Amino acid sequence: MRQRGGLRLFHLALSIGMCWIWVETGFGFDAKHSDRNRLPASVVFNGPSTSNKIALTFDACPGTEVTFDREVIHALERTGTPATLFLSGKWMERFPEATRELAKNPMWELGFHGHAHYDLTSPNVSQKLFEREFDSGARVFKRLTGKDPKLFRPPYATVDRKIALAAEKRGLLTIEYDIASGDPDPKLSKRALVENVVSRAKPGSIIIFHMNGKGKHTARALPEIIQRLKARGFEFVTVSELNVDRAPAASRPTPPVSHTSETP
């Protein structure tokens, strides 16, 4: 019993520690991975740049407290904006009815975001824990939505070849992003969040936000972000509607290094 309790504490410390490292060091995809050319084509950073379609994506991470910012969903509903939502297993377990309701709404495309949100690139993650992060999350997804997941965003959006091939083996397309909104940054004002997204959006962009209460100004910033991007001629679609499965490798540019970092 003592050993099992110690193991749980280790897993919790690992998750919290990775959150802290991510915030304090500003680690993002660029900082952690320099071998992007070795990733298979099933890892997608953006859609084709041949149309003005862009996709808003929202991560529901568990974190140390499992929360849900419903105002993010309400802002999308009020503006009639479709989006792709990446739900972690523990988040779905905490909000089963919300998960079922989200799955019923045709505005939303659902993907899954692992289970307990461990950084799968960490050497401290065992093979058993690695497999569980995929398979436990997928089982919860299937039980609550009635469907097998097709899209996967790794915890912390960190990806290497091992993760990508494990996802591919399970029939999953790994979805990264080319624009980090920076919404978990407590120092980022609503105005800065809006400008950070609007100024960098381009055809085919996949933009990452959060819907688990860690986006400090996300719900308030969304209406202006959506209105200004529409005024520039952008059309909001889900990730799958970007035709990412047919995006050529050359259309997956290096994501710019943001002055903010993505955290759960």
- For the chain, the structural domain boundaries read 2-248
H or E element that contains 44:
strand 43-44
Bridge partners (DSSP) listed for residue 180: 208
How would you classify residue 94: left for phi > 0, otherwise alpha for psi between -120 and 50, otherwise beta?
Answer: alpha
DSSP 155: G
| 170-185 residue pLDDT tens | 999 999 999 999 999 9
Per-residue pLDDT, 100: 98
Is pLDDT at 8 greater than 70 in this prediction? Answer: no
Band of pLDDT at residue 249, cut at 50, 70 and 90: very low
Is pLDDT at 17 greater than 60 in this prediction? Answer: no
**Alpha carbons 142 and 150: distance in angstroms, whole number:** 11
Task: Provide the sign of the torsion angle of the four alpha carbons 173, 179, 181, 187, taken in this order.
Answer: positive
CA 54 to chain centre: 15
Residue 133, amino acid: E
Per-residue pLDDT, 88: 97
Per-residue pLDDT, 25: 28
**Alpha carbons 121 and 154: distance in angstroms, whole number:** 10
The share of the chain scoring above pLDDT 90, in percent, equals: 73
Per-residue pLDDT, 216: 84
Mean pLDDT of the 58-79 span: 93
How would you classify residue 23: left for phi > 0, otherwise alpha for psi between -120 and 50, otherwise beta?
Answer: alpha
The share of the chain scoring above pLDDT 70, in percent, equals: 79
Bridge partners (DSSP) listed for residue 207: 56, 179
Per-residue pLDDT, 21: 31
Band of pLDDT at residue 23, cut at 50, 70 and 90: very low
Band of pLDDT at residue 244, cut at 50, 70 and 90: confident
**Model pTM score:** 0.82
Least confident of 36-45, 90-99, 109-118, 135-144: 36-45
Band of pLDDT at residue 243, cut at 50, 70 and 90: confident
CATH homologous superfamily of 2-248:
Glycoside hydrolase/deacetylase (3.20.20.370)
59 near 258, Cβ under 8 Å? no
Mean pLDDT of the 24-39 span: 49
**Alpha carbons 217 and 133: distance in angstroms, whole number:** 29
Angle at 240 between CA 234 and CA 245, to 5 degrees: 110
| 183-237 residue pLDDT tens | 999 899 999 999 999 999 999 999 999 999 877 899 999 999 999 999 999 999 9
68 near 211, Cβ under 8 Å? yes
DSSP string, 184-226: T-TT--HHHHHHHHHTT--TT-EEEEE-SS--SSHHHHHHHHH
